[in-house]
Amino acid sequence: MSATNHFQAQKLFDVKGYVCVITGGGTGIGLMAAQALAANGARVYITGRRLEVLETAAKTHDPSTPGSGSIIPLGPCDVTKKDDLAKIVAELESKESHIHTLMCNAGVGGPKSDPSSSSATDLKKTLWENESVEEWGETYKVDVTAVYFTTLAFLPLLQAAIPHTRRFAPSVLVTSSMSGLMRHAQAHFAYNAAKAATVHLTKLMSAEFQKLGIRVNSVAPGYFPSEMTAKESDAGNKSFLPDEKVLDKGHEVPLMRAGEETEMGMAVLFFARNEYVNGQIVAVDGGVLNSVAS
């Protein structure tokens, strides 16, 4: 009779001894990911532009809990600057010989303009006057270009994990968005276009970097509480997204609520542990893409 103990959840999602890095790890989805990984044994280095936010995030985890790992501030770092990326890689190399997972999570929302007018003159006026070429460029620089260069910066540390694991264990997890998979502009053309590019960048890096023994996948979140969606966070770096805000998006949200942080945690652990998953974009969106053209 086949044994079933190797299917126990604590074994399937055990990341004890893993070393992980998360950009934008101090709040929102990045912090959800950090807590999920740390709760299951990983040493998680979080980076971002605000050191005080990173330090607060680190305090949300109790490393004395049996079987748990730790959350460690790294940086600060502006992921759009090569010098900053090189600096945190060097800082990490002084502490770790390799990393198992890199989560490229840092992102910005970009400009928003309501495209609902049926008058071409009015629509042009709204979009033309409320958005700038510079804002579009900044959105792309953070949400796409920085993902590429962040991944490049950590490639050697990722590949160095292979002797410590099975062949395709090292992985990059890119935070894209369901917004990059739909035709609904959601009043932010720049963000949706950038996230669509992030989705394709994930596929490109997956195909090109598999020869290094490194997997690249993307989680495409729906509506989760974060500083981007809720516009604020509390003293513990957590945000709250009321149901009414989720339901007022101009399209259906079948589950009629925001995603829960544990649901994002499940997705992150899946990508970190499942070595047979490579080049995939998984939407964790409450079914939104079933009701919006994609």
Q: Which residue in 18, 45, 191, 223 is the catalytic one?
A: 191
Q: Give the contacts of 3 (CB within 8 A, at least 6 positions apart).
A: none
Q: Which residue in 18, 179, 195, 233 is the catalytic one?
A: 195
Two structure tokens written together for 199: 């989705």
Q: Is 152 helix (H, G, I), strand (E, B) or coil?
A: helix
Whether 191 is a known active-site residue: answer yes
What are the beta bridge partners of residue 73? 46
Is the bond leading into 76 cis (omega within 30 degrees of zero)?
Answer: yes
Q: Is 110 helix (H, G, I), strand (E, B) or coil?
A: coil
Ramachandran region, residue 11 (left: φ > 0; alpha: ψ -120 to 50; beta: rest): alpha
Q: What span, in angstroms and rounded, lies between the C-alpha atoms of 99 and 92?
A: 9
How many beta carbons lie within 10 A of that of residue 52, not counting itself?
Answer: 10
Whether 176 is a known active-site residue: answer yes
User: Contact 175/104 with Cβ under 8 angstroms?
Assistant: yes
Q: Give the contacts of 17 (CB within 8 A, at least 6 positions apart).
A: 41, 42
Q: Is 173 helix (H, G, I), strand (E, B) or coil?
A: strand
Q: Which residue in 176, 177, 218, 239 is the catalytic one?
A: 176
Whether 125 is a known active-site residue: answer no
Catalytic residues: 176, 191, 195
